[in-house]
């Protein structure tokens, strides 16, 4: 929108408060603040929702892969053939055999349910989700036959165990006796404590070499499943279809969408709902811009009539008031984006401060699933939010601008 020199001067004059126009300026300021808060709320909420999905996806996939090939009855005797078949499948980047079995862990009279995960040594040390999250100890000491394991930080806290502590794993698959099956109890030394960042994993996982897991569970040379990663998580079904045809009835393939469908669908629905609800805040702010412009037109009726008699065109007057309203929306949008980014940068400090002031635990990992408040800003969404705010602001200027342009100078100057 190109303005002439006098149009720019008048628009700039109308943006600043004149004599007796303090109330109009107050309403315009409230409109700017409302747009700022609406844009900031949208940026913060959408970034946090994106962060939730990204954190959950990265950490869940980091441990469980894009898909798992599970044997019938939880046993996969031909796991080497499955691993080889998976690795030769186009689009597959890795295939890791492992064992997962829910058991009980005991230490100093405390008992907790755990999920024992047996992996090959090379896979344990090369797993970025585990290797980068070790808080105490080292994964280097966890080797076959060393009777050393790595446990999650929440599990260590619940048991009261530390690096070097001897915990007991209790397996119901023990030896038969005249009195029934005697549970198998084996002691292991805690060699490392890790914190993945997902509460359920940190509260349950016990990682050990796959050979030790096979001995503990009396499985022999058998794996429970094969974890598979692909080049594209969204095309995992298409990529693994040839593998499913090759293994036939030997195993079942389940991808990340099947295993975590309810969780990610709930996040997607909540994300859309929050965007819709928070967009209403911007819409309400735009109505404030509309009302402030209507009051401005009423207050400047005599000025508009004089401008018309001096040769100002209807189009010029429309452009003046459209620029005034759009400028308020633009300033509010820029301020909202800045406020949103600042909040996201200090988000965890803000949460901690509110917890300190209120005395309430706002971020309980057992409820929130993640241990910290995540954030991931999508540039496309930021552009959409800014465009939506500017678009609504522009639409709000059309009626007041048309009303100003349709002012009859003869009638105004005759009666005023």
Residue 49 phi/psi, 5-degree rounding, is -65, -40
**Alpha carbon separation from 22 to 298, 299, 327, 344 (Å, rounded):** 14, 11, 18, 35
| Residues 288/403, Cβ–Cβ less than 8 Å | no
Average pLDDT for 146-154: 91
Lowest mean pLDDT among 2-11, 29-38, 115-124, 305-314: 2-11
pLDDT of residue 372: 74
Does residue 287 carry a pLDDT above 90?
A: no
pLDDT of residue 412: 62
Q: How confident is the model at residue 76 (pLDDT cuts 50, 70, 90)?
A: confident
Q: Rounded to an integer, what distance in angstroms lies between the CA atom of residue 31 and that of residue 42?
A: 17
Q: How confident is the model at residue 151 (pLDDT cuts 50, 70, 90)?
A: very high
Does residue 13 carry a pLDDT above 80?
A: no
pLDDT tens-digit readout, 309-345:
777 788 888 888 888 888 888 999 999 999 999 999 9
Does residue 69 carry a pLDDT above 70?
A: yes
What is the DSSP pairing of strand 148-152 with strand 205-209? Answer: antiparallel
- pTM for the model stands at 0.68
Burial class (CB in 10 A: 0-12, 13-18, 19+), 291: middle
**Alpha carbon separation from 215 to 69, 220, 303 (Å, rounded):** 22, 7, 92
Q: How confident is the model at residue 226 (pLDDT cuts 50, 70, 90)?
A: confident
Q: Rounded to an integer, what distance in angstroms lies between the CA atom of residue 343 and that of residue 258?
A: 35
Residue with more model confidence, 127 or 249: 127
pLDDT of residue 222: 86
* Sign of the four-CA dihedral 86, 92, 98, 103: negative
What integer best gives the mean pLDDT of the chain?
82
Q: How far is CA 372 from the centre of its chain?
A: 11
pLDDT of residue 174: 63
- What percent of the chain is predicted at pLDDT more than 70? 90
- Tokens coding 391: 């678009």
Residue with more model confidence, 184 or 330: 330
Q: How confident is the model at residue 415 (pLDDT cuts 50, 70, 90)?
A: low
Average pLDDT for 26-42: 86
Does residue 346 carry a pLDDT above 80?
A: yes
Residue with more model confidence, 23 or 384: 384
């Amino acid at each position: 929108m190109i303005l002439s020199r006098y149009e720019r001067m008048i628009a700039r004059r109308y943006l600043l408060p004149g004599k007796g126009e303090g109330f109009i300026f107050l309403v315009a300021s409230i409109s700017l603040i409302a747009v700022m808060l609406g844009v900031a709320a949208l940026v913060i909420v959408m970034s946090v929702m994106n962060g939730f999905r990204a954190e959950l996806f990265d950490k869940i996939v980091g441990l469980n892969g894009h898909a798992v090939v599970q044997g019938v009855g939880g046993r996969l005797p031909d796991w080497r053939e499955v691993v080889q078949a998976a690795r030769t499948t186009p689009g597959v980047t890795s295939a890791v055999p492992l064992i997962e079995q829910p058991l009980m862990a005991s230490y100093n009279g405390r008992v907790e349910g755990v999920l024992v995960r047996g992996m090959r040594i090379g896979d344990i040390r090369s797993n970025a989700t585990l290797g980068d999250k070790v808080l105490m100890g080292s994964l280097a000491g966890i080797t076959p036959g060393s009777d050393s394991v790595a446990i999650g930080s929440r599990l260590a806290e619940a048991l009261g165990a530390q690096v070097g502590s001897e915990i007991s794993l209790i397996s119901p698959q023990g030896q038969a006796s005249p009195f029934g099956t005697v549970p198998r109890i084996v002691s292991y030394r805690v060699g490392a404590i890790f914190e993945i960042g997902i509460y359920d994993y940190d509260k349950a996982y016990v990682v050990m070499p796959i050979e030790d897991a096979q001995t503990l569970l009396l499985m022999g040379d058998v794996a429970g499943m094969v974890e598979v990663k692909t080049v594209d998580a969204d095309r995992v079904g298409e990529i693994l279809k040839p593998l499913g045809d090759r293994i036939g009835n030997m195993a079942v393939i389940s991808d990340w969408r099947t295993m975590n469908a309810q969780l990610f669908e709930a996040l997607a629905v909540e994300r859309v709902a929050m965007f819709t609800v928070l967009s209403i805040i911007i819409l309400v702010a735009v109505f404030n811009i509309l009302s402030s412009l209507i009051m401005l037109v009423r207050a400047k009726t005599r000025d508009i009539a004089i401008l018309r008699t001096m040769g100002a065109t209807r189009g010029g007057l429309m452009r003046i008031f459209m620029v005034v309203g759009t400028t308020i929306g633009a300033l509010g949008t820029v301020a909202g984006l800045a406020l949103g980014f600042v909040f996201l940068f200090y988000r965890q400090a803000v949460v901690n401060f509110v917890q300190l002031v209120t005395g309430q635990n706002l971020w309980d990992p057992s409820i929130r699933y993640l241990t910290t408040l995540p954030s991931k800003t999508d540039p496309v969404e930021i552009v959409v939010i800014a465009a939506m705010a500017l678009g609504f602001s522009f639409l709000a200027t059309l009626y007041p601008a048309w009303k100003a342009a349709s002012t009859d100078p003869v009638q105004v100057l005759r009666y005023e």
